[in-house]
Amino acid sequence: MTAIAMPAPDKDVIARRQEILRALQAIVPGEGVIHDEREMRAYETDALTAYRQLPLIVVLPQTVDQVSRVLKYCYDNNVKVVPRGAGTSLSGGALPLADGVLLSMMKFNQVLDVDFANRAAVVQPGVTNLGITRAVEHEGFYYAPDPSSQIACSIGGNIAENSGGVHCLKYGLTTNNVLGLEMVLINGEVVRLGGKHLDSEGYDLLALMTGSEGLLGVVTEVTVRILQKPETARALLIGFPTSEDGGRCVADIIGAGIIPGGMEMMDKLAIHAAEDFVHAGYPRDVEALLIVELDGPEGEVDLLIGRVEEIARTNQASHLRVSESEEERMTFWAGRKAAFPAVGRISPDYLCMDGTIPRRELPRVLARMRELSVKHGLAVANVFHAGDGNLHPLILYDANKPGELDAAEAFGADILKLCVEVGGVLTGEHGVGIEKRDLMSEMFTEEDLKQQQRVKCAFDEKHLLNPGKVFPVLNSCAELGKMHVHKGKLPFPDIPRF
């Protein structure tokens, strides 16, 4: 089924499975090691479900010491390791390897410290995103980045993917809300970066770790910034006769210097699917729907609502409603938050893409996407973080129809190439993983990619942490150091290249 090639499994490692199992059981006793095929099935995929692979062994450590000893063992014995949080990655980042240990961090599920004076919370990486807000909301605080998967996804996974959500337009992505980390390197060394204070000493390794997709280290503790809830929040529901009008309205709102707490857009297919599913009161006779949320002191919110209404009318808005109560505001959002499962009800399968474009390009990109839909013979529903220019086209297909997965992947690749062509990037918040790995060369030159791999080598010179993800070609670290090739003989011939 997998169209994306993974590194060939190391037969020597697979032959040593029993010996590796015994060693890991000695480090993580009891139920912390899973090796039965039936039980390992739960880990064979993440939310990119078109791709599946049973791991060699699953390990669920509970202490930093156990993580450190597991990694050191794997390092000394050349065993690959795939870190995993809740397994909600949409880019295949947590896809296991047949010859690799799957390291689940979900037993690290404690909130360690809440420090309102420093506006910080210290949590273990398996705590869910929403779990952080739950731990601080009694004092009127919350954790701002809010991926739609926040009820399930772990903060460790959020760090690895630099996750975003509706409120990131105003409050920043994960990278802007993380203050400190503890992580374990592949050789077992425990490292601490940052803390409750602003900025850390030396190079900004914290920023490097955020978005590193499990390739540089395993996160074992996270310090995040917590914010006080805004005094008030109101939302506008704005419908447009064309997507282009909606796209222009988004650019004009930001251009006017207004930064909404959230600004999300849906196209007709997504509007109808969401309305049929949750009855949020969305208009059905519009081509695009914008939800704009403004938050802050009441007077400021009222003023900004008036200005956004004006901008919407200038852009031919055909439907305009402002929430008059907290309940109504939540109803506006209910449809958007349920949009993915709603689309899941109208199509047997869908591929959720993730690319980012300059906001001004929204009208052009939406128009081109319609042409691509005709070219590939598949429908597309658009649900996206319009304020950030972060698109989430959902390509509808049926995996049981021969050729449709291939067509959906080709359509997805065309959309991402289009994002790069108009000056955007391959991913906004879901990461590269395996999904966009082979498209990296659309955005980066060979030398760019080598440069990035040199950073990887500084942390993991044996390529044992999550190999096969992010980089389309696995250069050995020695090759990147420009080793001399004598008479065509490749140095380190045992290192996988694919």
Ligand X SMILES: Cc1cc2nc3c(=O)[nH]c(=O)nc-3n(C[C@H](O)[C@H](O)[C@H](O)COP(=O)(O)OP(=O)(O)OC[C@H]3O[C@@H](n4cnc5c(N)ncnc54)[C@H](O)[C@@H]3O)c2cc1C
Judged by the rule CB under 6 A, the positions of this chain that interact with ligand X are 46-47, 82-90, 93-94, 105, 125, 147-149, 153-154, 156-158, 160-161, 163-165, 213-214, 218-219, 340, 429-430, 466
Min dist. Cβ of residue 459 to ligand X (A): 12
> CB-wise, 157 or 247, nearer to ligand X?
157
Amino acid letter for position 46? D
DSSP assignment of 381-411, as one string?
A: EEEEBGGGTEE-EEEEE-TTSTTHHHHHHHH
In sequence order, which residues have a C-beta less than 8 Å from that of residue 494 and are 6 or more positions away?
none
Min dist. Cβ of residue 389 to ligand X (A): 14
> CB-wise, 59 or 312, nearer to ligand X?
59
> CB-wise, 97 or 233, nearer to ligand X?
97
The CB density around residue 203, as the number of other CB atoms within 10 Å, is 9
Amino acid letter for position 13? V
CB contact at 8 A, 180 and 454: no
Min dist. Cβ of residue 293 to ligand X (A): 15
Min dist. Cβ of residue 462 to ligand X (A): 17
Alpha helix positions (H), 241-284: 243-255, 268-278
> CB-wise, 154 or 476, nearer to ligand X?
154
> CB-wise, 85 or 247, nearer to ligand X?
85
> CB-wise, 239 or 468, nearer to ligand X?
468
CB contact at 8 A, 454 and 480: yes
> CB-wise, 154 or 243, nearer to ligand X?
154
Tokens (6 digits) for 402: 């021969």
Min dist. Cβ of residue 123 to ligand X (A): 11
Conformational region of residue 243, where left means phi above 0, alpha means psi within -120 to 50, and beta covers everything else: alpha
Tokens (6 digits) for 495: 């290192």
Q: Which residues of 248-287 are buried (b: 16+ CB within 10 A; e: fewer)?
A: bbbbbbbeeebebbbbbbbbbbbbbbbbebbebebbeebb
Looking only at the bridges linking them, the beta strands covering 349-352 and 190-194 are unpaired
- Torsions phi, psi for 424 (to 5 deg): -100, -160
> CB-wise, 87 or 246, nearer to ligand X?
87
d(CA 333, CA 234): 11
> CB-wise, 105 or 185, nearer to ligand X?
105
Min dist. Cβ of residue 307 to ligand X (A): 27
Min dist. Cβ of residue 125 to ligand X (A): 4
Min dist. Cβ of residue 160 to ligand X (A): 3
> CB-wise, 95 or 288, nearer to ligand X?
95
Q: Which residue is nearest to ligand X (CB)?
A: 157
DSSP SS3 for 449: helix
Min dist. Cβ of residue 487 to ligand X (A): 39
Tokens (6 digits) for 236: 């506008």
Looking only at the bridges linking them, the beta strands covering 100-104 and 80-84 are parallel
Min dist. Cβ of residue 106 to ligand X (A): 8
In sequence order, which residues have a C-beta less than 8 Å from that of residue 105 and are 6 or more positions away?
61, 83, 84, 85, 124, 125, 126, 154, 156, 218, 219, 220
The CB density around residue 128, as the number of other CB atoms within 10 Å, is 23
Min dist. Cβ of residue 186 to ligand X (A): 11
In sequence order, which residues have a C-beta less than 8 Å from that of residue 148 and are 6 or more positions away?
165, 166, 337, 340
> CB-wise, 315 or 466, nearer to ligand X?
466
